[in-house]
Structures are given as structure tokens and as C-alpha cells.
Amino acid sequence: MTPDPLLTGLAALAVDAPEGLLDRIAARWVSVPGPIGELGVAFTDQGVAYVHAGEGFAEAFRERFGRPLLPAARPPAGLLPALRTGRPSGVRLDLRGLSPFQRDVLEVVRTIPRGEVRPYAWVAAQAGRPGAVRAVGTALGRNPVPLLVPCHRVTRSDGVAGDYVFGPAAKERLLLAEGADLARVRELAGERVFYLASDTTGVVCFPTCHNARRITPRHRHGFRTLAQAGAAGYRPCRTCRPGQDLTG
């Protein structure tokens, strides 16, 4: 990576810079293995700020954030386990510069468990903007920390994976590696089934919810809408939280 003139000038200061100054001017970076290949990761004292796959990492970071990068001696705490396990809740994130809505969307998406998917409309509803499905898609397309905010786990309600910052093929690959059965979701959607309920628990879930995956065939019932499930006596799952109808 070509030395940045600003950082070269800072290094030449006769006295140490005030505490926190470097963090406001530059970020640190590391190259680490990830589930889709080598990743460039930029971070500050606040947390991970940017995750990039492929070439052009430094240029893309500078264009987006307007700051140079310094090589770091080691990755930030928790990064490697989070990338290895797909469970990133222990990694601090630096989401400064995002709008409140963008941050709300990313915080919602961060709660989606490994191996499960949620519709874009669910994210919008959980973020408090149920009509903002397009805006959710835009926010996820600008997600600066993919994998750590697992936007690959947000799909269309019909099981089509949809767009992804690293490309749709990478999205499908990640979901398959995590055990999400998109083919089953698509099959159910073709039958106009978007929710699955158990007559032993009285609970209705999204199809990939771990509770739904435990329902045996003779106790499983499919519904197009939550209203239909509610009329049949089922309550929404407290884990996957299908709190309102999302399919019309």
C-alpha cells in the first residue's frame, strides 16, 4: 500500500499527537481470512468501520471515508472468531457517519441468527419503518461492515436471495454454508406458504427459524399470512418475531 503523505507528516511531528487525534484522521487495517476469501478490514478505537473483499480495498475506503489507513499489528478483538463462526455479536462496530435509519436497519439485521433468513419487509418493520422496504435495500447495499452485520441473511419473502454487496453468488454460498435452506423457502413460497406453525406449541414462525425446523411433518401447518395463523389460534414466535403480515 502506498504511504500516505498525511501520515508521513504526522510521523515526523516532534511531539506526540494529542490522544485520539490519529483515530479522527486515520484508521488502522488488517488483512484476514474470511468465509468468502481474504478480507481487508479497517477499524478505529470505536470498532470495525469497513469490511472489503477483493482488490482496491484502500482506494474504496479512502473514497468512502476520506481517511488514510495505517497497517495494524493485529486484528481487533473478536474479529477472527466472528468471521469463523458467523456469530459477530461480540465485535464492536464503528458506524459513525451513517444516518439513524441506516444504523437502526443494521442493528436489526445483526440480530438474525446464523442459518436463518428474514424478509426485507421484516427488517423495515423491526426498524420502525414498515413502509420503507426499498430504503432497507438501499441501506443494506451500503452496509460498510458486511459479514459482521450479516445482510446476506436478508432475502425476499419468496426465498430469492436478492442483491448483495459482494454479489448474489457469494450471498447464496454464505447461506448454504450456514445451513439456510433457501430451496425449501422457495418451494413453500410457490405454495403461497410464508409461515409455518406447530400444533404442539401453538407458535407460528418464519420457515428458517430454528423453532420451525424442529416441527415434525404431522404437526406442521402452513399459512400465507399471520392473520390466517392467528385466526387458527397460533401466536407469533418470540424468537423470529413475525410480528405483522409481510406478504400481502
Cα dist from 161 to 11, 36, 80, 85, whole Å? 47, 17, 26, 21
Q: Do residues 204 and 235 make contact, with C-beta atoms less than 8 angstroms apart?
A: yes
Contacts by 123-126, CB closer than 8 A, 24 or more apart:
123/154, 125/243, 125/244, 125/246, 126/241, 126/243
CA–CA dist 178, 128 (Å, integer): 28
* 8-state DSSP, 9: H
Burial of 197 (0-12, 13-18, 19+ CB in 10 A): buried
Whether 205 sits among the annotated catalytic residues: the reply is: no
Here the cell at position 131 is 413502509
Longest dimension (CA), the chain: 76
User: Within 13 Å and on the Cβ side, how many CA atoms surround 217?
Assistant: 0
3-state DSSP: the chain helix, strand, coil percent, rounded to 5? Answer: 35, 20, 45
Catalytic residue chosen out of the listed positions 151, 209, 237, 240 = 151
Report the distance separating Cα 167 and Cα 156, nearest Å. 15
DSSP 74: S
Catalytic residue numbers read: 151
